[in-house]
Amino acid sequence: MPTININNADIYYEDSAPNDTQKPVIVFAHGLLWSSQMYEKQVAYFKSDYRCIAFDFRGQGQSQITKSGYDMETLTEDTLGLIDALGIDRCHFVGLSMGGFVAQRIAIKRPELLLSLSLLETSSDAEDPKNIPQYRKLVKAIRWLGIKRVSSKVMPIMFGSTFLTDKLRKSDRKHWLTMLQGNRKGGVVKATMGVIERTGTYEQLGEITTPTLIIVGDEDAATPYDKSERMHFAIAGSKLAVIKGAGHTSTVEEPDQVNRVLNKFLESCA
């Protein structure tokens, strides 16, 4: 299980073809409270044609919990450090939710690194002030009670009603609930605060010239369609795709739809 020390944090990553310098590279950045595992179905689908790299942000998944460094700017530096350490000149970058906050910053700051940009279930705005008290309350509950006690409240934020009510996907739900409950408290609290306190990137989106795909689930309650449409109008030439029957975690809820849309977009960038 490879880890690499970036900016004084041991970052866990998975690389589908570490010795292949011919395949184009896709880097996958996950959302808050999850890990690189949220891209399992994407890596399985794309790894025959692409070198797929998925990693865990500090404090989450199998990466080290550090005392500080959970703001989006530091997470962006971590990501850039990983790309550099793995000797990647250019890559297709896929970021979901929190991973999308980082992806936008890379596209603005280091566009020369990107072959394409895919933004899933994300936003270019700072956290809505109306949501902040609710999220702070959630952080307080996690700090005092642990993630297990609040996981039933978190699941409807992360998944759409189709996934949560489908009788045939009961074992799927159980698997992801177990993953959610397996989060380490210290890392989750710090990472969540980093998301709540983030600055927006909307004013800089006009600078993005990288070919861009924006994906949103039609049941996403955390970052609804209008957030994606707002980014779409701000990034010249961007494409916008809606995933039917998916909430905030479309890579898990509707992987086949996501893979088809992503594949078509990547082929258009070749």
pLDDT at 132: 87
pLDDT at 146: 87
Taking the CA atoms of 184, 163, 96 and 5 in sequence, report the sign of the dihedral they define.
positive
- Percentage of residues of the chain with pLDDT beyond 70: 100
pLDDT at 135: 83
Decide which of 3.40.50.1820, 3.30.230.10, 3.90.850.10, 3.40.50.300 is the CATH code for 3-269.
Answer: 3.40.50.1820
In tens, the pLDDT along 11-42 reads 999 999 999 999 999 999 999 999 999 999 99
Q: What average pLDDT does this structure show over 249-269? A: 98
Domain edges within the chain: 3-269
Q: Kindly indicate the confidence band of residue 137, based on its pLDDT and cuts at 50, 70 and 90.
A: confident
Report which of 217, 207, 222 is spatially closest to residue 105, judged by C-alpha positions.
Answer: 207
Cα 143 from Cα 193, distance rounded (Å): 12
pLDDT at 145: 86
Cα 156 from Cα 164, distance rounded (Å): 8
Q: What's the N-to-C CA distance of the chain in angstroms?
A: 31
pLDDT at 138: 84
In tens, the pLDDT along 42-68 reads 999 999 999 999 999 999 999 999 999
Cα 95 from Cα 91, distance rounded (Å): 12
Q: How far is CA 256 from CA 41, 48, 113, 148, in A?
A: 8, 16, 28, 30
Regarding beta strands 3-6 and 9-15, do their DSSP bridges make them parallel or antiparallel, or are they unpaired?
antiparallel
Whether the predicted pLDDT of 201 surpasses 70:
yes
Q: Kindly indicate the confidence band of residue 181, based on its pLDDT and cuts at 50, 70 and 90.
A: very high
Residue with tokens 């700090």: 143
Cα 242 from Cα 214, distance rounded (Å): 9
Whether the predicted pLDDT of 108 surpasses 80:
yes
Q: What average pLDDT does this structure show over 148-176? A: 96
Whether the predicted pLDDT of 93 surpasses 80:
yes
pLDDT at 1: 64
pLDDT at 47: 98
Give the DSSP letter string of the chain: --EEEETTEEEEEEES-TT-SSS-EEEEE--TT--GGGGHHHHHHHTTTSEEEEE--TTSTTSPP-SS--SHHHHHHHHHHHHHHTT-S-EEEEEETHHHHHHHHHHHH-GGGEEEEEEES--SSPPPTTTHHHHHHHHHHHHHH-HHHHHHHHHHHHS-HHHHH-GGGHHHHHHHHHHHHTS-HHHHHHHHHHHHTPPP-GGGGGG--S-EEEEEETT-SSS-HHHHHHHHHHSTT-EEEEETT--S-HHHHSHHHHHHHHHHHHHHH-
pLDDT at 125: 97
Mean pLDDT of all residues in the chain?
96
Side-chain half-sphere CA neighbours of 97 within 13 A: 29
Whether the predicted pLDDT of 212 surpasses 90:
yes
pLDDT at 245: 98
Under a CB-based contact definition with an 8 Å cutoff, are residues 227 and 234 in contact?
no
